[in-house]
Amino acid sequence: MLGFISDIHLEPIENNRTLAFNNFLEKASDRYEALYILGDLFEYWIGDDEDNLTISNIKKNLSRLADQGVRLFFIHGNRDFLIGNKFASDTNIRILDDMHIINLNNKKIMLSHGDAFCTDDTDYQKFKNETRNSSWIKSFLKKPLDERLFIADDMRSKSKSANSNKPENIMDTNPKAIEESVIKNEIDILIHGHTHRPEVKYFANGSVKVVLGSWEDKGWVFEYDSNHFDLRSFVI
């Protein structure tokens, strides 16, 4: 069985989410042959050189899972888009591009964090463009850790106050953008996170959109194997 999760938003504190997620990883090899993490595993990521107890525990548990034979994949979220090659090699996770397509039992499954579909939020898309180019990333990663932490905190509080003034539907995915992508690529199942609005939606042509939930009061995982799928939630 394959497991798909996103939006765990781990912080450097021991809260329910960190406990529940470490617990999930400890048991994951019983259930999954592959685990796909579709972004925002961490609440923020300022570079692979940062270390704290949350990060080291997650790394340890991910690499143990890989040792147990579970294949691990990651797609960047908007919060942890700076996760890089060192994190990937420390944990044996493979980083995939956004909109990666997997072919499974004659089904095409497209994976995304989901923010690329939020095309109505033009301020956010502008910000994303500015921060996802190699020169911005290079100059950010050159700064000392404490300065990067300060910038990340500042970005988070600015985005929080900007988002509180935006109408809800602006921050949701644009249905047209989703449908176009599904139809153009002949996708059977699109799986994404980001919006924190979990749902399974069927399109007229039989394609399915799965939106993963964020780990707050509940944890969420989409489970898929050849003859069934299920968007599962569990109390944490």
Q: How far is the CB of 110 from Mn ion (least distance, A)?
A: 17
Looking at beta carbons only, is 65 or 75 nearer to Mn ion? 75
Q: Among candidates 119, 126, 219, which has minimal Cα distance to 175?
A: 119
Cβ at position 69, least distance to Mn ion in Å? 29
C-alpha–C-alpha distance, residues 219 and 7, integer Å: 10
* By CB under 5 A, residue 77 contacts Mn ion: yes
Q: Which stretch binds Mn ion (CB under 5 A): 36-44, 55-63, 100-108, 178-186?
A: 36-44
Looking at residues 186 to 215 of the shown chain, list those that interact with Mn ion (rule: CB under 5 A).
194
- Site membership for Mn ion, residue 76 (CB under 5 A): no
Do residues 199 and 218 lie in contact, with contact meaning Cβ atoms separated by under 8 Å?
A: no
Q: Least distance in Å: CB of 11 to Mn ion?
A: 14
Say how far apart CA 183 and CA 108 lie, in whole Å.
Answer: 11
What is the smallest separation between the CB atom of 114 and Mn ion, expressed in angstroms?
7
Residue type, 136: W
Interacting span for Mn ion (CB under 5 A) from 11-19, 65-73, 78-86, 134-142: 78-86
- Kindly state the smallest distance separating residue 26's Cβ from Mn ion, in Å: 25
**In sequence order, which residues have a C-beta less than 8 Å from that of residue 188 and are 6 or more positions away?**
107, 108, 109, 206, 207, 208
Lay out the site mask for Mn ion across 37-56 (x = CB under 5 A, - = otherwise): ---x----------------
By beta carbon distance, the residue nearest Mn ion is 194
| Residues from 79 through 98 that contact Mn ion (CB under 5 A) | none
**Cβ–Cβ < 8 Å for 194, 118:** yes
The DSSP letter of residue 217 is S
- 150, amino acid identity: F
